[in-house]
A and B are shown apart, each in its own frame.
Chain A
């Protein structure tokens, strides 16, 4: 289970962002995750409380957006949504294609509470 390592990397990025913006707390963390990243969303959710304990994000919600696996066929240029273990064109069946999405492991957005409630930081 490498999700704890991934979660620790996430917390390091989130802590840096919170420090940069002088935030008192992190409210919500938005991730984008594709099945070909090799990271299981459920395991990441279970690892999150351990990685975020005693950090600025210890009360934060982790919201994971799942990205579909999409390919573009090299021969017929058709784009199709496929399962993670059958990356073949849905139109012509060719296996030579480009991956358009499905391997994402991206920190999209972080919502922070600022120390001074009257300050609205535009980022």
Chain B
């Protein structure tokens, strides 16, 4: 008999569980993440006010998030004003790689925390000039488990899966991959050397999670497929601007009515 599964409750002691009159039972039905979600909504309002598209990059460590950002900055830096928030347990190494490209990078070192949360992003916003940013990338801590549970206030989740990992990662980490709005299969230049990675499998597994997200195969090294990623990104920036403009128009109409 243990103290965890309920097998210690017998007909003889069950009466101890019944609420006596000195006790109060309070129905709550509140999400445990409600405080994080409240701050995430607040962050999103800041982003929308300044017309900033925010992308949360999540993957296991070493799947190529920083290199993806380096190539993306090289390709799109003239077209868009880009900034990056870097999340790592230790070191400023990734932020320094991004700064070397002439782009603002704010490093959050989480210490032992395995994920970023809305509070950390809110603090980071005090160090960024949102009025001067079109796309903000948040490079989450390399981890396929914990970051999935925390809304940061971003607009899209982009999950990376490198071909040196298993092609069944989506069904091994369903919580993470169910939330992906786009999956990037990275390091495809290595595919000729890997006979056990079927590049069609991740998409099949994604559909098993009832996720219709597109999968794009890319190599930041030989640039294969990168144009598809840039096209997805540009499309999202345009869509976001339109949504923001209609939101602004709606609020000015509302203000005119109030007058």
Q: Chain A residues near B146 (CB, 8 Å)?
A: 1-2, 38
Interface of chain A: mostly helix, strand, loop or mixed: mixed
Instruction: Count contacts on A: residues with CB < 8 A to the other chain.
Output: 45
Q: Chain A residues near B29 (CB, 8 Å)?
A: 106-108
In the bound assembly, the distance between CA atoms of A23 and B115 in angstroms comes to 34
B-facing residues in A62-104 (Cβ within 8 Å): 71, 84-88, 95-97, 99
Instruction: Count contacts on B: residues with CB < 8 A to the other chain.
Output: 38
A9 CB contact (under 8 Å) in B19, B32, B208, B212: B32
Q: Mark A110-123, 1 if CB is under 8 A from B, else 0.
A: 11111001111101
Taking the closest CB of chain B, its distance from the CB of A91, in whole angstroms, is 15
Interface of chain B: mostly helix, strand, loop or mixed: mixed
Verify if B174 is at the interface (C-beta below 8 Å from A).
yes
Q: Report yes or no: A123 in contact with B208, Cβ–Cβ below 8 A.
A: no
Q: Report yes or no: B31 in contact with A105, Cβ–Cβ below 8 A.
A: yes
Please list the 8 inter-chain residue pairs (A to B) with the smallest Cβ-Cβ separation, ordered nearest first: A2-B146, A38-B175, A117-B22, A87-B210, A38-B149, A85-B174, A85-B171, A121-B24
B residues near A (Cβ < 8 Å) are 4, 19, 21-36, 113-115, 117, 145-146, 148-150, 171-172, 174-176, 178, 207-210, 212
